[in-house]
Structure 1
Amino acid sequence: MRLSRPFPHTGTAEVTVVVPCYNYGRYLPEVVQSVLSQERVDPRVIIVDDASPDGSLEVARVLAAADSRITVVSHTRNQGHIATYNDGLARVETEYVALLSADDLLAPGALGRAADLMKAHPQVGLVYGMPLEFSTEQGLPCTDDSGRLASWTIWSGREWLRWTCRRGRCFILSPEVVMRTEAMRKVGPYNTGLPHSGDLEYWVRTAAGWDVGRVNGPAQAFYRVHGNNMHLTTFDTIQVDLKERLAAFNVLATAELQQQLPGADLFHRQARRGICREALLLAERNLDAGGAIDLSLSLLDVAQSACAEAAETLRGRSVAYRLQRARRGEAPASIQGLIEGFRRQLDRVRWTAWRKVGIS
């Protein structure tokens, strides 16, 4: 990992932003404006409507009629979000590309900052940054990034994978990603079998062949939080999230990645151990907070599916001890509250590290 000071590229970068849309027509004008108002780039927009019944297609066509930089693709039947991603990405012809959900927004200057980094580092295939959450009711967060000191973090693909696999998690939310189109073409389409963790698997495949960069400092995107978010409606339990992460990291065991990435087996084992540790830690924390026994048991099952020896580890035995206390109806011990306080402090340290350099 190396940090460097950013510097602007010369010329104008061409960037296409693919906007998949299903029943989000009410958000389309705002998301399109966030793209077309980007400075120092030549932006294009491809809206792919996945047979929305809410009039999204009509909204998209009105926008396209007013601006030639907008292209509209319509599905006659609903194909699902992964197929919609792939349809839009296959139509990109510019040097750089981003995939932005219709309910999210780009931050001002985000595309130019990402293009600067990739112009300066030709081996970087993927750039991400800091996304900020917002809601329709509360509006965008009040941020003034005009004077914020920015930096770049650059990893070799192997180095970024090492961090990602050791933690067994994804450091990228998604709307802040900009890719080199050449990299996107070589990586190929999204995996239709991973509706929840397709992004993580895609970043793993990208890092297997390309370096990874991050724009630190200014926000790169705004992620809208509302009741219709897929992770809140379809995948609403942490156990499911952990299982889907396991499925995403299984790409490291495929023949393609084994051939492309020396040591892919080791990365795969690290990822499984990382998910095992997190599942056991969550099982501990749930019991320390007086949570339901069934939840910790299901998390223990996830840990054992990731690592057969999970129950025999120090943390696995710690979970077993807490389960015994909980089954006897005993309240969490006072030391457990002290441990949880330390964990919260560690959470804050990791969150700060992620905000600063993109990993934690």
Structure 2
Amino acid sequence: MSSVSVVIPCYKYGHYLADCVRSVFEGNEGVDIRVLIIDDCSPDDSAQAARALAATDPRIEVRVHETNKRHLATYNEGLLEWADGDYSVLLSADDFLAPGALARAVALLDANPSVGFCYGRPVHFQHPGPPPPARTEVKGHHIWPGRWWLERRFREGHGCITSPEVVVRTDLQRKLGGYDPRLPHSGDIEMWMRFAAHADVGFVRGVDQAFYRLHDNNMSKPHFAAMVEELGQRRAAYEVTLERCGDVLPNRDELDAVIHRKLARIALRRAVRAYDRGRVDELPVEELVEFARDCWPQYRSLPEFRGLQVRRRIGARTMPYLQPLVLSAVAGKGREWLWWQHWKRHGI
């Protein structure tokens, strides 16, 4: 029987713990599961909630920090120091797994030793409110060569993974290390790319593997101001990947150019969107343009910059009314929105 170590970091999320832990065991018969809840010195009753759960099930352990160590140190403590199962999962206390998620992932990993980690579709739902029912009928799976999957991340310029839907081979986690402390808000995508540089990637098709809670936290000016910081962290994740894995990537220089051009385009798209939505006074348009210039010195040749110039000539007040008539340089909204929601939840 394959074993899975599930690490649940918790900070002020004790009220979510019962649902989170319940989901770990639901529908996963035939998998040897152990759970570690790490409370990172929560100022509320989260530690008590964790201990109460552990008292009901010997498979659940609890650690309580006397001082707050922050999220990355807490993640690495569980993944690198405690996890000893065949596979490992990092599951935030406010998220939860779909029924049978671990059994499905274990079946894929057991059958494909070349795969370093696998994932499936995460369901994003807005809190408060119930999530939709999970799909649990497997339609098959994909096994992608790791370096192909990594290169696609560079070409798209964003991660395709939220986090709770991932199951990792524990020995690979220990070999390649945990979350990089230089990347407090984008360490997850760097770690998945690092793994992909050394192993294949699996995907469970047709099912929902986890539920990711989008907290009801309306965008405000501070959130908008963080747009450039988020892009900087994203850029750092790719640069750290090339730094750590460049020796096994024969097209390293090409990937470096690809990602810097892509991120420049994303920054300019956000500036374009500020004009289209009449939010030039709220969004850091000039800082976004400066980021694009620093990221890709040839930024003036990009179609998004030309679109921005058209909008500047039309003017910020008039542009929202004419936007349907102006060819938009904005694309890829769906993935960008999910990335931004992830940043809002974890980056600020």
Indicate the SS of the match to 1:35. helix
- 2:85 corresponds to 1:100: no
- The number of residue pairs the alignment matches comes to 332
| Partner in structure 1 of residue 169 of structure 2 | 180
CA distance in 2, matches of 1:105, 1:224: 9
Structure 1 residue aligned with 2:340? none
**C-alpha spacing 1:228/1:279, structure 2 compared with 1 (3 Å):** closer
Deviation (angstroms), 1:257: 1.6
Which 5+ residue runs of structure 2 have no aligned equivalent? 338-348
Contact 2:141 2:205 in 1 (8 A): yes
Residue in structure 2 matched with residue 243 of structure 1 by the alignment: 232
How far apart are residue 183 of structure 1 and its match? 1.4
Check conservation: 2:311, 2:319, Cα contact below 8 A: no
Residues 1:75 and 2:65 aligned together: yes
Q: SS where residue 178 of structure 2 aligns?
A: coil
C-alpha contact 2:115 2:199 (8 A) present in aligned 1: yes
Give the SS at the match of 2:163. Answer: coil
CA distance in 2, matches of 1:349, 1:46: 31
For 1:356, the equivalent position in structure 2 comes to: none
- 1:47 paired residue among 37, 47, 53: 37
Q: How many Å apart are 1:107 and its aligned residue?
A: 0.4
Residues 158-217 of structure 1: per-residue CA shift (max 9 Å, x gap):
111111101111000111111011111122021112111011111111111111111121
Q: Residues 96 and 233 of structure 1: is their aligned pair in 2 closer, same or farther, counting only changes over 3 Å?
A: farther
1:305-328 per-position Cα deviation (integer Å, ceiling 9, x unaligned): 22111123333233123223226x
1:120-147 residue CA offsets vs partner (Å, 9 max, x unmatched): 211111111111123453112134x24x
Cα deviation 1:231-257 (Å, max 9, x = unaligned)? x99897433322211011111342x32
The equivalent of 2:109 in structure 1 is: 118
In structure 2, do the counterparts of structure 1 residues 282 and 126 end up closer, same or farther at CA, with 3 Å as the change threshold?
same
SS in 1 for 2:168: strand
What SS class does the counterpart of residue 315 from structure 2 fall into?
Answer: helix
Instruction: Flag the 1:306–1:339 CA change in 2: closer, same or farther, 3 A.
Output: same
Superposition pairs of residues 275-290 of structure 1, within 5 angstroms: 275-290=263-278
Q: Distance in 2 between matches of 1:239 and 1:76?
A: 34
TM-score normalized with structure 2 length:
0.87
Q: 1:235 to 1:282 in 2, by over 3 A?
A: closer
Unpaired runs of 5+ residues, structure 1, are: 1-11, 352-360
Structure 2: which amino acid aligns with 1:163?
R
Contact 1:49-1:57 at 8 Å conserved across structures: yes
User: Is the contact between residue 50 and residue 74 of structure 1 (CA under 8 Å) also seen in structure 2?
Assistant: yes
**Percent of residue pairs bearing the same amino acid type:** 41
- CA deviation after TM superposition for structure 1 residue 78, in Å: 0.2
Question: Match for residue 267 of structure 1?
Answer: 255
Aligned twin of 1:357: none
* Inter-partner Cα distance in structure 2 for 1:289 and 1:228: 20
Listed one character per residue, the Cα deviations across residues 86-110 of structure 1 (whole Å, up to 9, x for unaligned) are: 0111211100000000000000011
Paired residue for 1:154? 143
1:131 aligns with one of 119, 122, 129: 122
> Is the CA contact 1:227–1:233 (under 8 Å) kept in the aligned structure 2?
no
Q: 1:236 to 1:204 in 2, by over 3 A?
A: farther
In structure 2, the residue matched to 1:60 is: 50
Residues 85 and 235 of structure 1: CA distance in aligned 2, closer, same or farther (over 3 Å)? farther
Cα distance in structure 2, aligned partners of 1:324 and 1:234: 27
Note if contact 1:161-1:267 (Cα within 8 Å) is conserved in structure 2.
no
1:222 paired residue number: 211
Are the structure 2 counterparts of residues 215 and 20 from structure 1 closer, same or farther at C-alpha, using a change threshold of 3 Å? Answer: same
Is residue 97–residue 165 contact of structure 2 (8 Å, CA) maintained in 1?
Answer: yes
Question: What amino acid is the match of 1:47?
Answer: I
Contact 1:288 1:337 in 2 (8 A): no
1:109 counterpart = 2:100: yes
Whichever residue aligns with residue 117 of structure 2, its letter is L
Tell me the distance in 2 between the aligned counterparts of 1:235 and 1:193: 23
Classify 1:152/1:348 alpha carbon distance in 2 versus 1 (closer, same or farther; 3 Å).
same
- Counterpart code for 2:37: I
Give, in angstroms, the shift of residue 338 of structure 1. Answer: 5.8
- Name which of structure 1's ranges 233-242 and 158-167 shifts more when overlaid on structure 2: 233-242
Residues 36 and 44 of structure 1 are in contact (CA less than 8 Å); yes or no, is this contact kept in structure 2? no
Aligned twin of 2:288:
299
TM-score (norm 1): 0.84
Q: Distance in 2 between matches of 1:50 and 1:149?
A: 36
Contact 2:109 2:115 in 1 (8 A): yes
